[in-house]
Structure 1
Amino acid sequence: MTTDTRGPRAGAGILRTALRRNIGAMAWGTVLMGLYQAGETAFPIALGLIVEHTMQDRTLGSLGLSIAALAVIITTVSLSWRFGMRVLQKANTTEAHRWRVRVAACGLQPVARDVDLKSGEVLTIATEDADQTADIIEVVPLLISSLVAVVVAALALGLADVRLGALVILGTVAILSVLSVMSGRIGSSTREQQARVARAGAKVADLITGLRPLHGFGGNHAAFLSYRKVSTEARRQAVTVARVNGAYAGTALALNAVLAGAVTLTAGWLAVEGRISVGELVMAVGLAQFIMEPLKMFAEMPKYVMMARASAERMALVLTAPPVAASGAERPAAGGDLELDGVCHGSLDGLTFRVPAGEFVAVSAYQPRAAADLASVLAVNTPPEAYDGVVRVSGRKIGELSVEAVRAHMLVNPYDGEIFAGTLRTNIDPSGTSRTVPEAVEASMLTDVVALHREGLDHAVRDRGANLSGGQRQRLSLARALAADTDVLVLHDPTTAVDAVTEQLVARNIAKLRRGRTTLVITSSPALLDAADRVLVLDGGAVVAEDSHRNLLATNPDYCHAVAR
């Protein structure tokens, strides 16, 4: 609820930022588009003057001068439109890119759990909403240039007869008054449509993520029905928006036609009465036809303003979402240890233990929920203020450290690490700066996958690793964690999809590669438990036993029953 009330104010701030950042381009665009509209307006005025002048001076020189004047007007109209739109569209595209990058950067950071934003929604906001927000850069200059055209036309008609100028001004005010009421409905309908489309996108993302499990237990049909319901709601809202837009466009066109017709009929009546000349009549008829275009553009601009504002408010949901934790300013010292002191969160009940610098420790949790809660706390997915107790990294409280510094110093690799479209190499070393890629590939036993393909590490990987098996994806995720070579590494169930023989090799390789570096593995794998220097046994959210794997097997029946297989 808090986010929703903050959205409109933040959305207006986003629009102000976009306008302020592109003031130069908008100024040039306004001048050029104003020149274009002035040239368009000048054309019927020039025709009227030519007719008036030609009737008095019927010579070839006068005709040639008239043609040259029209050529200058046409050239001005053509060039001003070309370069004006180039300036505005370049600024529009650049601004949309800036907002896409900002939304993507915020979307990659964890936010508070009470902010209901799915990855699919963030994707929609970073694409469609960013583009529609940036449209404000084109909307304002076009709005001003359209106003210029209407004012010039009104002045020209007013010089011929005050009643014609007054008719244009009053008619324009009446049209805008009617359309401003309708534009509010467009804004509210558009916001609802964007929200429903975003929810449909989020549903698709969720279904793609869980596609394999859905196939496994036959939940495809239920998933299809779930998406169909969300998509149908989005379709219905889209139809509503289209209906409102259609009514708006139809009303604008009808009112513009009425005004043009009124100007034409009034000019004809004044010409019959002899109050305006034939040239002024030609000018009035020409302006009555021309004025429909700027009026149409002028009438459509409020709709685009409302759409831009609605999109900006959607972006504000991401950009103003509170972070999962208040970031400190300190950085942990190099190397160092990992310590939990009386941590109570979820199923964790006063959890206390310490992993000295350079030690390889395994945690065997009898309850899977405790393992997940521990991983969440260490990954800073749960903010320090959300649990009791203290987590220290290199002797510093985790709440005193910036989230970026914590993650650069301590990597927590989840059991379901994401695989990205690209290559094996880009998945293992996304930044291209790791010096331990070969060692990480060998330690994770990914060598068979690399050797299987002619391209080696440059073998293409599809989105979410669709062309890899479950075990291959897990080993690829493990290779990425090892290649990061962080001071502290936390692995959560890194070998659940790997066969027993490979698991034995992976466990030995991790212990060898991470020798002298602080490593914590949360696992129930006997191979990894055996490779660790010592094992911490968690039951009821607290440490109930601590020793080497083999000693625990010999002395602790509960442990033996839980992990022996």
Structure 2
Amino acid sequence: MQIHQLPYADPGDPDVRSGTRFLLWLGRNQLGGQVKSLLWGLLLYLGIAGLPLGVGLAVQAVIDRSGGGLARAGVLSALLGAAIAIGDTMQHRTAVTNWITAAARVQQLLARKTAELGSLLTRRVAAGEVVAVSTGDVEKIGWFVEVLSRFAAAATTLVLVCAGLVIYQPALGAVVAIGVPVLALAALPLLPRATRRADEQREKAGRATELASDTVAGLRVLRGIGGEELFLGRYREASQQVRRAAVRSARMWALIAAIQVLLPGLLLVVVVLYGAKLALDGRITVGELVTVYGAVTLTHHPLRTFEEVAMAYSFSRPSAKRAARVLSLTRTATTVAGTHQRPGGDLYDPVTGLLAPAGLFTAVVCGDPDAAGKLADRLGGHPAEEADGQASVLLGGVALDELPLEAARTAVLVQDKDPVLLSGTLHELLDVPSSGKVSAAQALAAAQCGDVLDALAQASVDTGGDPMRTRITERGRSLSGGQRQRLALARSLVTDPEVLVLDEPTSAVDSHTEARVAAGIQRLRTGRTTVVLASSPLLLDLADRVVLVHEGEAVAVGTHRELLAADERYRAVVTRETEEEALVDSEESA
């Protein structure tokens, strides 16, 4: 895979059983790039390791006053220099390609998972963690995947150099063959502690990122309650914890780096002293001593790769663990490929017993807002993780989690109680996949967005007062909560899905607007299946049927007025009547 061929047609099915397995899976899926980088790395490192041989031959030729030997040494050095130049250039090229393509693969996997889970993603994983995985973590993962091939080339080069020196000059070569493995493994006892400190740093940095993300998202609310300084203090403390953890981690890596410098220096001293003695005794030539000395000096370059791969693994493992945790999430307990296309019919939840007949406006009353949110997710084919093993919601007798994702999304649309508006113009906001039967004007009218259009027209600077061309700020922060809610409702109505599930679609508007919005939904969705989770009498009174869900089970069905008169539990939820008030009413009626 080359950079110009990105994105991947299919990023693959990752191994997310652990962070380490995910890293190995990435490496295997870039085997071709890894082999290329390995071969170019061998050319580079062997060229560097071979330079002392050319220098040693040249020195010996000068001592022997051999012009032919000096010429041969010059040709060898020139060839080695060319090999180093080509190997360095191409290894860097292939290494960067491996880094970028690995990061791109992870980003595509995350984007695919985000599209699959939708708003359910941030209910299972903190938004700050998703941001951290999508930005800094993918870079660290790509770094480890990239360094693997360079590490393999460095290790292979050291083995070949040691073997070559033993053959070239057995006495000194044996010293080098014993010393180099010791140098390569010297920092190994320190790696667990360095890894723990790196993990601690990454954990604290992730918490700080989550805190910053949550603070920015809730800045408007914080300003309203005067909580900016409180959260600023929390973030300042979190930042200081990250700084202290980073310093502790850096100290350990500095110690490892110092060992990587000190021990090769000691080996070099031993080689020079022992080699000088051998040369004085006449057992080796000066050229051989220079060759072995130069080879030991230049092993420092591949040895540093051992430190780099350890550091890359230490920093990328927590990142890979987080990425694997996100990628392991599924929209349902079991996903089975299906061939059904745009199913229709009654919507039925076997867990609660809720039935929403096709073509009717069904209102669902649930006293617990959290339970209502989970029910809305289930109706959209996204059960909570604790619901594993439970039966899937059925649409026309077909399980939603057996449908391809695209077919399930086309059939059922869920708008939760806190919908998100992306930045862009109003026209772009309403330009969504749809049946084409509902126009933007009809949807805006049904959602009672007239005042929103007026506000956008007044805010327009260079669009000639056209509200459809006026930009909406990120997450619609320039609008009130009720305006954002109604625009999101208009977007859902434009989509015109087979089944529309709305969770408290009018919780942020006044009662007069709520009544008009309810009538607009009823009018525009005539003949289409609509499920509204709400407790407002204005909405419930317009529904074709109302279902009361109590303690996770549908316990009563009827019209709003029928249930209000006949079911005390329903009346308590809808009228906010307390148990004491209900007891007084029953005593008075008696």
Common fold, TM-score beyond 0.5? yes
Cα distance, 1:42 vs structure 2: 1.7
2:412 aligned residue: 410
| Partners of 1:203 and 1:228 in 2: CA distance | 10
Match of 1:355 in 2: 356
**Which residue is equivalent to 2:9?**
none
2:493 aligned with 1:482 = yes
Aligned pair in 2 of structure 1 residues 75, 355: CA closer, same or farther (>3 Å)?
Answer: same
CA positional deviation for 1:458: 4.9
> Separation in 2 of the partners of 1:193 and 1:210?
26
Q: Say if 2:481 and 2:508, in contact at 8 Å, map to a contact too.
A: yes
Tell me what 1:3 maps to.
none
Which residue in 2 is equivalent to 1:120? Answer: 128
Greater alpha carbon shift after TM alignment, 406-415 vs 432-441: 432-441
Establish whether residue 35 from structure 1 lines up as the match of residue 35 from structure 2. no
1:163-562 to 2 correspondence within 5 Å? 163-321=171-329, 325-328=333-336, 331=340, 334-339=343-348, 343=352, 354-363=355-364, 368=369, 371-372=372-373, 374-379=375-380, 380-382=382-384, 385=387, 392-396=394-398, 405-429=407-431, 436=438, 438=440, 439-444=442-447, 445=449, 447-448=453-454, 451-452=457-458, 453=460, 454=463, 456-499=467-510, 502-525=513-536, 527-529=538-540, 531-535=542-546, 546-547=558-559, 562=575
Check if 1:92 corresponds to 2:74: no
Deviations 1:16-74 (A, max 9, x none): 32222122221121111111111111222111112222343465x87666545433322
Q: 1:463 to 1:271 in 2, by over 3 A?
A: farther
Cα deviation for residue 417 of structure 1 reads 0.8
Counting aligned pairs with the same residue, the percent is 31
- Shift in Å, 1:106: 3.4
CA contact (8 A) 1:249 1:300 kept: no
Q: Cα distance, 1:531 vs. partner? A: 4.5
- The answer (yes or no) to whether the contact 1:41–1:152 under 8 Å persists in 2 is no
1:29 corresponds to which letter in structure 2?
S
Tell me by how many angstroms 1:484 deviates.
2.2
CA distance in 1, matches of 2:282, 2:262: 30
Counterpart for residue 349 of structure 1: none
The residue identity in structure 1 corresponding to 2:501 is: V
Q: Deviations over 1:332-351 (max 9, x none)?
A: 863322345672xxxxxxxx
Question: Residue in 2 aligned with 1:54?
Answer: 62
CA distance in 1, matches of 2:314, 2:298: 26
Cα distance change, pair 36–560 in 1 and its aligned pair in 2 (3 A): closer
Q: Is the 8 A contact 2:19 2:321 kept in 1?
A: yes
> Displacement, 1:85?
1.7
1:139 matched residue in structure 2: 147
Pairwise CA distance, 1:274 = 2.8
State the secondary structure of the residue aligned to 2:177. Answer: helix
Classify the secondary structure of the residue corresponding to 1:507. helix
8 Å contact from structure 1 (residues 110, 381) kept in 2: no
Q: Which of 82, 100, 104 is 1:75 aligned to?
A: 82
- Residue 358 of structure 1 aligns with an amino acid whose one-letter code is G
User: Partners of 1:229 and 1:71 in 2: how far apart?
Assistant: 57
1:88 counterpart SS class: helix
* Structure 2: runs of 5 or more not aligned: 1-14, 577-590
CA distance in 2, matches of 1:262, 1:231: 47
Q: CA separation in 2, counterparts of 1:388 and 1:249?
A: 54
TM-superposed deviation, 1:383: 6.4
Single out whichever of 362-371 and 512-521 deviates more from structure 2. Answer: 362-371
The CA distance in 2 between the partners of 1:167 and 1:274, in whole Å, is 18
Check conservation: 2:454, 2:467, Cα contact below 8 A: no
Deviations 1:424-476, CA, capped at 9 Å, x for gaps:
34443456996745243443325445544327545444432233332332122
Change (3 A) 1:497 1:95: same
Number of equivalences: 547
CA shift in 2, pair 1:264/1:116, >3 Å: farther
1:204 deviates by 2.6
Distance 1:479 1:147 in 2: 62
The residue type equivalent to 2:101 in the other structure is T
Q: Distance in 2 between matches of 1:356 and 1:545?
A: 12
1:13 aligns with 2:17: no
3-state SS of paired residue (1:135): helix
Distance 1:8 1:405 in 2: 26
Aligned partners of 1:144 and 1:64: how far apart in 2? 34
Deviates more, 1:481-490 or 1:186-195: 186-195
CA distance in structure 1 between the partners assigned to 2:200 and 2:124 by the alignment? 16
- Between the aligned partners of 1:383 and 1:98, the Cα distance in structure 2 is 26
One-letter amino acid of the structure 2 residue matched with residue 97 of structure 1? A
Measure the CA separation in 2 of the matches of 1:502 and 1:196: 46
After the TM superposition, which of the residue ranges 29-38 and 471-480 deviates more from structure 2? 471-480
Aligned-partner SS, 2:334:
coil
What residue is the counterpart of 2:586 in the other structure? none
Assess, with a 3 A threshold, how the Cα gap between structure 1 residues 362 and 145 changes in structure 2: closer, same or farther. closer
Contact 2:545 2:560 in 1 (8 A): yes
Post-superposition CA distance 1:505-534 (Å, at most 9, x none):
433332232221111222345554455445
Q: Quick one: distance in 1 between partners of 2:333 and 2:419?
A: 22
Write out per-residue CA displacement over residues 272-296 of structure 1, whole angstroms, 9 at most, x where no aligned residue.
Answer: 3333223223323333332222222
Separation in 2, partners of 1:139, 1:437: 54
Structure 2 residue matching 1:494: 3-state secondary structure: coil
User: Is the 8 Å Cα contact of residues 333 and 394 (structure 1) preserved in structure 2?
Assistant: no
Q: Output the amino acid matched with 1:359.
A: L
Q: Which amino acid aligns with 2:422?
A: F
Q: 1:281 to 1:437 in 2, by over 3 A?
A: farther
8 Å Cα contact 1:139-1:305 kept in structure 2: no
SS at match of 2:18: helix
Distance in structure 1 (CA, Å) of the matches to 2:105 and 2:468: 33
Change (3 A) 1:327 1:158: closer
SS in 1 for 2:509: coil
Q: 1:365 to 1:62 in 2, by over 3 A?
A: closer
**Residue 69 and residue 509 in structure 1: after superposition, are their counterparts in 2 closer, same or farther (change >3 A)?**
same
Following superposition, the deviation at residue 81 of structure 1 comes to: 1.0
Q: How many angstroms apart in 1 are the aligned matches of 2:402 and 2:148? A: 45
Other structure's SS at 1:52 match: helix
The one-letter code matched in structure 2 to 1:546 is G
* 3-state SS in 1 of match to 2:194: helix
Separation in structure 1 between the aligned mates of residue 510 and residue 276 of structure 2, nearest angstrom: 91
Per mean C-alpha deviation after superposition, the further-off stretch among 265-274 and 101-110 is: 101-110
Query: Structure 2 CA distance, aligned partners of 1:268 and 1:421?
Result: 73
Change (3 A) 1:31 1:553: closer
Query: Could you say what the CA RMSD is over the residues aligned between the two structures, in angstroms?
Result: 3.9
Measure the CA separation in 2 of the matches of 1:110 and 1:382: 11
Q: Does the Cα contact within 8 Å between 2:16 and 2:325 map onto a contact in 1? A: no
